[in-house]
Every structure is written in structure tokens, then in C-alpha cells.
Chains A and B, each alone.
Chain A
């Protein structure tokens, strides 16, 4: 099944970006005809690694060996010439063009359209990926669009096919079709580098797995021989020991969500399905989950950007589900969305104006609708000072700040409004370690002062460090919150990915 010959060997590869080391001394080997899994949490360095293999990023140190010869692609076309093909998580297709035209656009010397259509049809039949070359891409489902990308790759007869989170946009049935194709490719001798954090999927498909954590290879294993729990442990690391939480300082319930179901306003988004939880004063609820399982939607539904029936969301027992963001702020709730530029902050506006964006109500920055600019600037300056935002001043446009600094400003702006309920999505995403610690401490301080806090994050360590209770979003459903104290890794894995794994296994049977 797996031959011993090495197709691609990665040797001691390191890549650093300003402020963060994405890959540190990474080594592993992909054999001929092997399905190799690259496993790790978000931010573990998987994307940077495959970008280097595909010629999009150059490593700082280390080298790659392709069938015994040095391999250093300067650009993707060089990687493709060697036999590497990649299916990206986000498709690059023109909706107004047909399937065949889209495929032709990605080729250096496209054959005549009729010939190309015939080849697309042949490949799609051979690999059981039904696709009509004359259809407009705009009319295709996400799964069909992915097939366009896969067939585009297969036309190059690749030796190594890289797939970045391929199942995140697929229905279970489409996953089954995809897996059949990948197994066929493997049988023909094509190696596949499969990136995912869905453990059951990897157990069902992959021969070998390399596990990354914080940019380093922490383990390699044969997925079939390991349980999902064991792999989760390797992925999350041995430091997964929940810190002792002080108990018994809970107040009454401040935020209550019951049976909340709302359709997603985001294309390819995940609708919330009957989400219920309560958060008491002084409690931090951590919500984990793989990206795209309803995190953005949950934040919108809590912040008031997405409305529901009044009873579904309650602040201090008062129904607020049908109220907008301003009214909810007045009721004591602040929210910080994940995307900083364009959502949490207006890129071209100054920090003073961005302070006004959410601070107007709770900080009393307006009088009869007229803005008190002096007071607003003082508020912005206080946020900058208290949260150590590195910037020349309050007049600077938000887009001029680095990601981490803007994150400090945005989180600081919300936490500085003496909130009673706090909802934050990805509080420390892209922030350096010291700043992340400061933000977490600030969140805990607010909780200690009696605020109810909901932290949505993909960083399990972070959640276990600051949360009192823990729940996970999966396909828009929220698991029952449980106290962090005494929670095992096994149970966390089950809450996060259990259902996903089940579906794959079920359809495979």
C-alpha cells in the first residue's frame, strides 16, 4: 500500500514572520502513494508549511528534497512543474465563466476549448466526480466548485496533491464522494497531503500523520492505530492541565440564551440550531469549536446585529432578543467580533472615531445626539494607555495599526465600558504572547468585578486557562456547558468534533 520511497522530504524548515515564528525546525517525509495528514489547531503553522511546498512562501532556513533532488520552488508554477498541485480552502473561480473556461484560465497553455471540455469530462468520469464543463460556476454548489478545483489539479497529473481543509464546505454525501476519489488517486500512486483538524476524517483516510503545534512538529503517528482522543491530546499538547479555578463566587444569571435558532446571514455560513446556555455574574464561559461552526453567527446573535425572538436572549432576565446593538449596549452587553478591520473598527477612521463607534452610549459621549469630541478623545486615549496600544496618537487611522495593536484597542474599548455582559470572539487572535496574556488578565479582572463573560475561541489552551465552564459549537449546535474543572481531553474532543466524526464513520459504513 505505502511504498518506502520518499516523494518529498522536509528538513528543518523554519519560517518567521514579524512577531511570530510560524514554523520552527519542521521535518517530515511524504512517501510515494501515501495520504499524509497535517494536523494541528488554527495557528499551528499548517498553512505556512504548505505555502512553502507550493512555492508561495520561501523558508528562512532548512531545505526540501523532491525525489532525492533539492526542491526550492520560487513560485507556484515551478511547484506545479515539479508535480505539486493544491486545492485551496477558498476557491479562486470566476462565477460568470463556465467550468471549462475557469480551468483554461489556470493553465499556462490551454488546449482548444472543445478538447479541454472532453478532457474535463473524461477526468470527471474516471474519478467519479460528476461535473458538466459547460455549466456556469455561479450556478454550482460549494461541493461542485471544489470539484472544479480538484479536476483543475488532476489535469496536471500531479505527484503530490495538497488539500487544505477540503471538507469544511462539503455535505456528508459530498465528503464520501471526495474520499472515494482520494482513495482512487492514492491507489494510482499519487501522494496526498491532507490538512485538517477533523480527527475522525483523518483516521478514516490517512496513512501517516504529522502533528504541528505552535509551529513545531510535536508528534508523528499512524492515525489508524490511534484513537481520536490520543490524537487530540497530541494536537493540544501535554500542557492540557486546566488551572484550578476558584469556585463559589457566582452571582445570579446575567446572560441567558434559550433555544436560539437563527439562519446565517453569511454565505456558506452555519445557522445556529437551538443554542442554549446561561452565564452568571463572575463566570467565564468558554466556547470552543472548529472555525465555521457558527462562531460568527453566535457573536452576531448576541451583539444584536442578528435579531431573534425577544425571549431567546435575556440580559438580567430582561428579553433583548429583538433589540439592536445600541439597545443591548444600554442593557449592559458589549461585544467584540473576530474581524477587526471593517467589522470591529472602521479602517479609514481615526482611533477617536473608532472609540465613538461603540462607546457613545455607555460612555456618555453624546449629548442630545451631539458628539463631545473632547470626551471621546479622552476615552480613546484611556484605552490606548490602559491596554498598551502602540500608536503615535488618537488621530491615527485604524488601518495604520498592526493587527495585534488594533486587537488590543478593540478589546480594550469594549472592556473599558464597565460592561455587565461581555462577548468576545477570538480575543487574542494574532496577538503576541505578552499582549495575549494582558488581554486574558483584563477579561478575568472584569469577571472578578462581576461581569458575565462569553469567550469564543479556537485556542483551547486559552479557553482552559480563563474559562470556568466550557462548551463547544459544532455545526451550529452548542454542547451542554460543563465546568472546566475535572474536564478531560477526551471529553473536550468529543464535544468539539464528535458529531463530525460520527457522520463520516456512518456514511463510510
Chain B
């Protein structure tokens, strides 16, 4: 009989080791799944984890890694603050879309003016758009005690509808011969979010993501606000006793997460995606939730988790084109990662003991 026993203090060793263990277990379980699907599991795992970094096309794919990891990290860091405080913003995807629309709309409104301030202004507009979208569940929660999980999630679908309206209607390219989608920013220098240097894979979004990681790290380790965020999540009554105002914290965490997601959307739409289109978003807002937990809600952890998740994206794409793996299998593989991580998380606070027959009662 196995028995779980609570540790007197959380184990530092296991809190570091569980992500590694979870990745290993995902490889094993995923390998079995690939084998059942009739693929060589070793080849599949190698295609996903090894080839993008050291394979034939690594020179290109390494850059892609940063392109994909940037928005994931940026969104996940924002979300992690709220998750730490027990505020469950599930709607980053919607905030990401609305940020992209608001920022892009500003750029498109002044097209074709060339001015160095246009891009920074678009970033600010993107942040505001995401912030405003996140304020809806925040205000509803603090005023009417609604559940922020439901409201923020449902607003994603509203945002997707707005996105469809934008790309087929109010932001559609007037010179696009009636095709859906806005003007492409790659042809508009003042608003373009290009790579910082040729082939780098690093654009302003990646820089912003790194800066956010550092800022969040400092906030959580050194600042009273970070302490209050952690305290509210762990012991809400103790937080009130310490003088934390729960409503203010909800507004703050939702607002920061929304603004960062909105910025991520703007960086994406002006860079890799290039234009507002019906499906430019590619689900970063949802994947970022996995990234946040994979990184154990720790900014540095999220940095690595974002890179790892981007790797499974790129590797997964390669696996589906080269090996003919169905994309659903890749998604299941990514899901396993979160599942194993949450399961292994138990080891941080509990230890597994073999119970003798007699005491098992």
C-alpha cells in the first residue's frame, strides 16, 4: 500500500526536480502513444525535442523558437502573478486578441504616415486594449462577486467574434480585393515589428518578454507587493490580517496580465503574423496557462517553460509533416506535459511512503 504523508516543510529539491521528472514522464507516455499510433517512438521524440535545436534546419528553427516562446513567456508571466494570488484569469487569449486589434487599429488609422513614435504608441494601445478587456472580469468580480474564470473565458469567444468582424469588416485591407485580413504591416516600416537583426528570431516582443521576466522576478523576491500576491494565494485570511485589500489585488493582477497579453498580441500581429486575420492568434493565450504552471509560476521557470513549449510546437509541427503524426496527437502530447507536471507537483508537499499492512487501516 502506498501512503501519502505531508512534509513538514515544502521540499526545495522536489520543487526543482518535478519539471524535469514531468518532462521525462511525458516522453515515456508520449512515446507509448506514438508507438500505439504505429510510429517509431524514438524517432518521434527525437524529431520533437532534438531536431529543432541540433538538426538539419536548426539555424532557422532556433530563431523560430524565440518567435514562439516570446509571446508565451510574456503572457505567462502576467498570468502567473494572478495565479499566485488565487486569481484565475483564463481569458488571456481574449486579452491578447483585443490588444492586437487595438494596437493594429491605431497603426492602420495613421497609415501611411512614417514616424518613429508610431510603433511605441501602438504598443501602448495594445497594452491598453488587453488591460481594458481584463478589467471587465475584474470589475465584475470585485463589484458583483462573479467568477473570474467563467467571465474571462467567455470573453475570449467575444474577442474572437470581434476579431472576425475586424478582419472582414472595419480593419479589412481596402486594397485587398475583398479578401479578409488587414493591411500587412511588413510593408509599413513605421509599424513593423521586425527582427532586431537578420535571422535573429528576436523581435521587440522577445525583448519585452525578457524584461518582464526580470521585473517579475524582482517583484516577487524583493517587493512588498510580490509578497502580498504570494500571501493572498497561500493564506487569504492572513493576507487580510496583514492589510492586503483583496479587491485592489484582483484589479492589479488582472490588469497586469491583460496589459502584457495585449502587448504580446500587438507584437505578434505586427511581426510574425504580419496582419490582423481571422486566425492570427494561434492559441498563445491558452498555451500560456500551461507555460505558467510548467514554470511553477516562477518567472525564471516560465522563461524555460516557454522555450520548452515552443520547442514542442516546432518539433510537433515537424513531426506531423515529416512523420505524418496527426496534430491531435501533438496536442495530446502537450496536454500530457501539464498533466504530469501537476501530478508530480504533489511530491513537493507530500512524500510517498510504503505503509505496512497494519497501519493502512
- Contact across chains for B238 and A345 when beta carbons are under 8 A apart: yes
Instruction: Write out, one digit per residue, whether chain A residues 172-191 have a CB within 8 A of any chain B CB (1) or not (0).
Output: 00000000000000000000
Asked whether A343 lies within 8 Å of B243 as measured between CB atoms, the reply is: no
Question: Taking the complex as formed, is A370 at the interface, i.e. its CB lies under 8 A from any CB of chain B?
Answer: yes
Which stretch from B115-123, B208-216, B219-227 is at the chain A interface?
A: B219-227
Most buried by B among A326, A345, A348: A348
Inter-chain contacts of A347 with B (CB < 8 A): 234-235
Establish whether residues A397 and B8, one from each chain, have CB atoms under 8 Å apart when the complex forms.
yes
The B interface is mostly helix, strand or loop, or mixed, namely helix
User: Chain A contacts of B238 at CB under 8 A?
Assistant: 342-346, 357
B216 smallest CB distance to A (angstroms): 15
Chain A 350-364 per-residue mask, 1 if CB under 8 angstroms from chain B, else 0: 000100111010000
Residues of A365-407 contacting chain B, CB below 8 A: 366, 369-371, 373, 396-397, 399-400
- Tell me the nearest residue of chain A to B9, going by C-beta: A397
Taking a contact as CB atoms closer than 8 A, the residue among A303, A342, A396 that contacts B235 in the complex is A342
B240, CB-defined interface residue at 8 Å: yes
When distances are taken between beta carbons in the complex, the residues of chain B under 8 Å from A396 are 9
- B161 sits at the interface (CB 8 A): no
Q: Does B241 contact A (CB under 8 A)?
A: yes
- Is residue B113 within 8 Å, beta carbon to beta carbon, of the partner chain? no
- Residue numbers in A under 8 Å from B9 (CB-CB): 396-397, 399-400
Which of B222, B234, B245 lies in contact with A349, CB distance below 8 A? B234
- Decide if B231 touches A357 in the complex (CB within 8 Å): yes
Q: How far is the CA of A492 from the CA of B8 in the complex (A)?
A: 43
**Chain B residues with CB below 8 A from A327, complex form:** 243
State whether B245 touches A324 (Cβ < 8 A): yes
Chain B residues, Cβ within 8 Å of A419? none
Q: Which residues in B have their C-beta under 8 angstroms from that of A371? A: 222-224, 227
B242 at the interface (CB under 8 A from A): yes
Residues of A within 8 A of B224 (CB): 360, 366, 369-371
**B234 and A369 contacting across the interface, CB-CB below 8 Å:** no
Given contacts A360-B224, A400-B8, contact A325 B241 (CB under 8 A): yes
Residues of chain B contacted by A343 (CB below 8 angstroms): 235, 237-238, 241
Most A-side CB within 10 Å, residue of B222, B227, B245: B227
The answer, yes or no, to whether A314 is at the interface (CB within 8 Å) is no
Cross-chain contact A329 with B231 (CB below 8 angstroms): no
Q: Which B residues lie within 8 Å of A55 (CB)?
A: none
Residues A324 and B241 in contact, CB atoms below 8 Å apart = no
Q: Is B326 among interface residues, defined by CB-CB distance under 8 A?
A: no
- Docked Cα-Cα span, A304 to B242, in Å, equals 10
* Alpha-carbon distance A106/B227, docked complex (angstroms): 44
Total contacting residues, chain B, CB less than 8 A: 20
Q: Which residues of A are found within 8 Å of B234, using beta-carbon distances?
A: 346-349
Q: Write out the residue numbers on chain A whose beta carbons fall within 8 Å of the beta carbon of B242.
A: 325-326, 357-358, 360
Interface size of A by CB at 8 A reads 33
Indicate whether B112 reaches chain A with its CB closer than 8 angstroms: no
Q: Is B55 an interface residue (CB 8 A)?
A: no
Q: Does A223 contact B (CB under 8 A)?
A: no
User: A252 at interface (Cβ–Cβ under 8 A)?
Assistant: no
The answer to whether B223 touches A304 (Cβ under 8 A) is: no
With a CB–CB cut-off of 8 A, which chain A residues contact B231?
Answer: 346, 349, 357
Chain A residues with CB under 8 Å of B10's CB are: 348, 397
Contacts of A397 in B (CB 8 A): 8-10
- Measured CB to CB, the nearest residue on chain B to A75 is B361
Q: Is A305 an interface residue (CB 8 A)?
A: yes
Contacts of B223 in A (CB 8 A): 369-371
CB proximity of A17 to chain B, nearest CB, Å:
19
A427 interface residue (CB < 8 Å to B): no
In the bound complex, how far is the Cα of B223 from the Cα of A343, in angstroms? Answer: 22
Closest to A324 in B: B243
Please, which residues of chain B bring their CB within 8 A of the CB of A324?
A: 243, 245
Min CB–CB distance B188 → chain A (angstroms): 41
Other-chain residue from B8, B237, B243 in contact with A304 (beta carbon distance below 8 A): B243
- Complex Cα distance, B231 from A337, in Å, reads 17
B9, B10, B222, B245, most chain A CB atoms within 10 A: B9
* Complex CA distance for A326 and B224, rounded to whole angstroms: 13
A343 to B240, CA, bound (A): 8
- Minimal Cβ-Cβ distance residue in B for A357: B242
| A78 CB, min distance to chain B CBs, angstroms | 14
Contact indicator per residue, chain B 166-197, by CB within 8 Å of chain A (1) or not (0): 00000000000000000000000000000000
Given contacts A346-B235, A371-B222, contact A326 B227 (CB under 8 A): no
Q: Contacts A346-B234, A353-B227, A370-B223; is A305 near B240 (CB within 8 Å)?
A: yes
Please, which residues of chain B bring their CB within 8 A of the CB of A337? 241
Q: How far is the CB of B215 from chain A (nearest CB, A)?
A: 13
Residues from chain B with a CB closer than 8 A to the CB of A356 are 227
Bound CA span A370–B8, Å: 29
**How far is A369 from B218 in the complex, measured between Cα atoms in Å?**
12
Interface positions of A from 310 to 354, Cβ below 8 Å from B: 324-327, 329, 335, 337, 339, 342-349, 353
* Closest CB in chain A relative to B264 CB, distance in Å: 26
CB distance from A323 to the nearest CB of B (A): 10
Knowing A353-B227, A369-B224 touch, does A358 contact B241 (C-beta < 8 A)? yes
Closest CB in chain B relative to A343 CB, distance in Å: 5
**Assembled-state Cα–Cα distance A399/B242 (Å):** 18
Contacting residues, chain B, for A360 (C-beta < 8 A)? 224, 242
- Quick check: B241 and A305 within 8 Å, CB to CB? yes
Q: Which residues of B contact A348 (CB under 8 A)?
A: 10, 234-235
- Binary A-proximity of B1-37 (CB < 8 A = 1, otherwise 0): 0000000111000000000000000000000000000
Complex CA–CA separation, A348 to B232 (angstroms): 12
CA distance A356 to B10 in the complex (A): 19
CA distance A356 to B237 in the complex (A): 15
Task: For residue B304, give the distance in angstroms from its CB to the closest CB of chain A.
Answer: 24
Residue-wise interface mask of B (223-263) relative to A, using a CB-CB cutoff of 8 A (1 in contact, 0 not): 11101001100110111111101000000000000000000
Residue of B nearest to A326 (CB): B243
In the complex, which residue of chain B has the Cβ closest to the Cβ of A346? B235
Kindly report which residue of chain B lies nearest to residue A350, judged by CB atoms: B9
| Nearest CB of A to B142, in Å | 16
Question: Closest residue of chain A to B238, judged by CB?
Answer: A346
Q: From residue A337, how far is it (CB to closest CB) to chain B in Å?
A: 6
CA of A329 to CA of B234, assembled, Å: 22
Interchain CA distance A366-B227 in the complex, whole Å = 11
Q: Within the assembled complex, what's the spacing in Å between the Cα atoms of A347 and B230?
A: 12
Question: 6 interchain pairs (CB within 8 A)?
Answer: A343-B237, A345-B238, A346-B239, A348-B10, A357-B241, A358-B241
* 3 nearest A-B pairs in the assembled complex, by CB-CB distance: A326-B243, A325-B243, A346-B235
18 further A-B pairs in the complex, CB-CB below 8 A; given A343-B237, A344-B241, A397-B9: A303-B241, A305-B241, A324-B245, A325-B241, A335-B241, A342-B237, A345-B235, A348-B10, A349-B230, A349-B231, A356-B227, A360-B224, A369-B224, A370-B224, A371-B224, A371-B227, A397-B10, A400-B8
